[in-house]
Structure 1
Amino acid sequence: MNLGTRKILDNSFTAVGMGSIVVMALALLVVLTPIVYNGVGAVFFTGTIEHRTMLYKEYGRGDSKTIEAQSATADRYRGEAYRMLSGFEAEMEGMTPEASREYRSKYAPVRAAMSSLLGPLPGDPQPMLTRFQYGQTRWEKAEEKLHDILYEKKWDYSDPTVMAKEFYVPRAEAFAGTKLAPLFGYVDKHLADMMQPQFTFYWGFFTDRSLDAHIFGGIWPEIQGTFFLAIGAMLFAFPLGVIAAVYFTEYAKEGFFTSILRSANSTLAGVPSIVFGLFGLAFFINTMKVSESKSVLAGSLTLAIMILPTIIRAAEEAILSVPKTYKEASLGLGSTKWNTIATVILPAALPGIITGGIISLGRAAGETAPIIFTAAVSVGSAIGIADVFSSPTPALSWNIYNLASEHEMASEIRHVQYGMVLSLVSIVLLLNLSAILLRAKISQKLKG
């Protein structure tokens, strides 16, 4: 091959490599941008007086005098809206039965939207569920409810050749001439006065417990449960993985038995994660009885089995990358084989071993399927160290799926879903960053 052709090929491969990196970076940017943007909205947002009242009553957080003053201002403007509602209800009592029925069917969604916006209306019984005890806690949700109050959604079926199209008509037209007609313009004009919007930094999203299935509150139990499961998995898998790697590299002789073990390890690495979940349920819970039902211990053991092949492989490659002269020099000075492994080979291979371990830790933190049957619950409080042997726990990965697909108010708590995703991504990225920094520090120390 002449020099010109070689240069062309080198430049081509370089261009392809750089292009691949750019494409991967753009793909990562496309994925992470909405996660970061929406996830940050769980912590930084415009909160209403309902949010500040909820924090004070449920968590004892906030300045009582400020909240009372803002509530008094909000109640002053809300009082006029309440008078319009009660006036129209009294007006309906004097109508003919036919007119009363017609207006009541139109009035019901207005009253429901007002209750959702402002909380329980005067005369309503105290709701049992927390979600009905407060109005809209976020300003953007309050604006959505305002739209529901002002407009009624209808469908246009006039063209049979196309699908029906939705459109909105002002509700005020249906109540023209009644005592309720001024309500719509009043609420539209004084929404901010009734809700008292204010920029909010809700750091409690990471430290508070959830209320009413994550409709209010934070995600601390999920964060704590994720760490318990991931660290518990590493406590079991890391020592076993390193020991297995030492056996494969230093003690095992090539043969049928060793070949079977290596094949088993490789096969285990390719098993779908849901299979590990079913195995954990059948073996650790139903057979070994490590706990009566779901528990952090059972979930950690299941995750440990899942990440074990990765740790073995990473540790094995790290040990094999240690120069043979290190081992020969140690043995030549009279050291035993085990002492050479413990004091020379493993310390030299430590950066690679730790890197593989932390990468496996990140994977354990993000897995969902293995903990569905063994450890995770949809709603729960934070557990203590002593409870890991018998109690299940919420976890970020499982709760993200649960809130996005199975929650009855999934569309109302998108900020919680994205906040959980951002938290999980941040945890995994921090774990990988710590692996890079730890590896660099140990490598620098070994070089002296």
Structure 2
Amino acid sequence: MNLGTRKILDRSFTAVGVTSIVLMALALLVVLVPIISGGLKALFFQGTIEHRQLVYNEFGRGDREELERQKEQSQEARRPVFAMLDAFDAELEGMEPAERREYRSQYNHVRDVLHDMLGPLPGDIEPLLLRFQYGNTRWEQAEESLHDLLYVTKWDYSNPNVMAEKYFTPRVDEFQGTALAPLFAYVETHLEEMLLPQPEFYWGFITDRSLDAHIFGGIWAEIQGTFYLAMGAMLFAFPLGVIAAIYFTEYAKDNFLTSMLRSANSTLAGVPSIVFGLFGLAFFINTVKVSESKSVLAGSLTLAIMVLPTIIRAAEEAILAVPKTYREASLGLGATKWRTIVTVILPAALPGIITGAIISLGRAAGETAPIIFTAAVSVGATIGLADVFTEPTPALSWNIYNLASEHEAANEIRHVQYGMVLSLISIVLLLNMSAILLRARISKKLKG
């Protein structure tokens, strides 16, 4: 190959490499930007008086005197709405039955929207669920409720060649000539006075408990559960993986049994995670009975089995990368083989071993399938260290899936879902950064 052709190939490979890196960076931005922007909405948003009242009542945070002043101001703006509702109720009583039935359905919808917006209305039965005890806690939710109050959604099926088109008509048209007609314009112009929105930094999203299946409150139980499961998995998998790697590299002979063990380890690395979850349920819970049902211990053991092949392989490669002269020098000075492994080989291989642990830790924290059957619950309180042997726990990975696909109010709590995703990514990055700094410190110490 002549020099010109070699230069062309070198430049081509360089261009392909740079292009690949740029495309990967753009793809990462496409994924991360919506997660970060959506997740930050769980912490920073326009909160209403309903949010401040909820935080004070449920968590005891806030200025009581200021809150009482704002509540009185808000109630003053809401009184005309309540008066118009009472006037229309009286008007309904004087209508003919047929006319009353005609208004009743739309009027009930108006009351439902106002209930969502402002909380319980005068005359309503005291709601049991927390979600019905408060109005819209976020200003963007209030704006959506306002649109639903002001307009009726209809569909145009007149053109058979196209799909039905959605359009809106003013709801006030259905109540023209009644005592309720002025309500719509009043709510539209006085909504801010009724809800008093102001910028909020809700740090309690990280530290508070969940309320009413994550309609309100925070995600501390999920964060704690994720930490317990990930660290528990590493507590079991890391020492077992390192010991197995030492056996493969320093003691095992090159025979059929060793070959089978290596093949089994490689096969385990490619097994789908849901299989590990079913194995954990069948073995750790139903056979070994490490707990009566789901528990953090069973989930940690399952995750440990899942990440074990990665740790073994990474530790094995790190040990093999240690120069043979290290072994020879140690043995030449009279050290035993085990002492050579413990005091010379393992310290030299530790940065590479920790690299495998970092990869495994991130995977253990983010896996969902292995903990579905062994450890995770959708709704639960925080647990203490003594409870990890017997109790299940919420976890970020499982709850993200559950809230996004199974929750009855999934569209209303998108900020919670994105907040959980951002928290999970942050936890994994934090754990990885800690391990990377530890590895760098160890490497620096080894170099003197």
Letter paired with 1:184:
F
Distance in 1 between the 2:311 and 2:399 partners? 27
Q: Secondary structure at the match of 2:108?
A: helix
> Any conservation in 2 of the 1:359–1:431 contact (CA below 8 Å)?
no
Aligned to 2:380: 380
C-alpha separation between the residues in 1 aligned to 2:38 and 2:164?
A: 31
* 1:424 counterpart SS class: helix
Q: Quick one: distance in 2 between partners of 1:123 and 1:45?
A: 31
**For each residue in 1:49-78, what CA deviation from the matched residue of structure 2 results, as whole angstroms up to 9, or x when unmatched?**
000000000111111111111111000001
- How far apart, in 1, do the equivalents of 2:104 and 2:125 lie? 20
1:77 maps to amino acid: A
Are 1:45 and 2:27 counterparts?
no
Take 2:355 and 2:334, find their aligned partners in 1: how far apart are those partners? Answer: 31
Same amino acid, percent of matched pairs: 75
Q: Unpaired runs of 5+ in structure 2?
A: none
Deviation at 1:432, TM superposition (A): 2.3
Q: Secondary structure at the match of 2:207?
A: coil
In structure 1, distance between residues paired with 2:316 and 2:58: 52
Residue 205 of structure 1 deviates from its aligned partner by 0.3
2:74 is aligned with what amino acid? A
1:367-421: CA deviations, max 9, x gaps? 0000000000000000000000000000000000000000000000000000000
Partner of 1:280: 280
Instruction: Give the structure 2 partner of residue 159 of structure 1.
Output: 159
**What is the DSSP-based 3-state SS (H/G/I as helix, E as strand, rest coil) of the residue aligned with 2:177?**
coil
1:412 maps to what in 2? 412
Mapping of residues 16-415 of structure 1, within 5 Å: 16-415=16-415
1: distance between equivalents of 2:275 and 2:118?
48
Q: Which amino acid aligns with 1:29?
A: L
Q: 1:439 offset after TM fit, Å?
A: 1.9
- SS class of match (2:152): strand
The one-letter code of the counterpart of 2:443 is S
- Which residue identity does 2:202 align to in structure 1? Y
Amino acid at match of 1:178: T
Question: What is the CA deviation profile of residues 19-70 of structure 1, one whole-angstrom value per residue up to 9, with x for unaligned ones?
Answer: 1100000000000000000000000111000000000001111111111111
- Once residues 313 and 31 of structure 2 are traced to their aligned partners in structure 1, the CA distance between those partners, rounded to angstroms, is 30
Consecutive unaligned residues in structure 1, runs of 5 or more: none
Give the superposition deviation at 1:431: 2.2
| Aligned counterparts of 1:211 and 1:91: Cα–Cα separation in 2 | 39
Matched residue count: 448
Q: CA deviation at 1:329?
A: 0.6
Asked whether the 8 Å contact 1:359–1:435 carries over to 2, the reply is no
Instruction: Give the aligned residue type for 1:413.
Output: I
Give the C-alpha shift of residue 16 in structure 1. 0.7
TM-score, scaled to structure 2: 0.99
**Distance in 1, Cα, partners of 2:436 & 2:294:** 34
- In 2, are the aligned partners of 1:120 and 1:134 still within 8 Å (CA)? yes
Aligned-partner Cα distance in 2 for 1:124–1:174: 24
| Structure 1 letter corresponding to 2:119 | G
Contact 1:156/1:167, CA 8 A, preserved across alignment: yes
Q: Distance in 2 between matches of 1:21 and 1:164?
A: 44
Distance in 2 between residues matched to 1:83 and 1:425, nearest whole Å: 50
SS at match of 2:388: helix
Cα displacement (A) at 1:434: 2.5
> Residue 447 in 1 paired to residue 422 in 2?
no
Two-structure CA RMSD over aligned residues (Å): 0.7
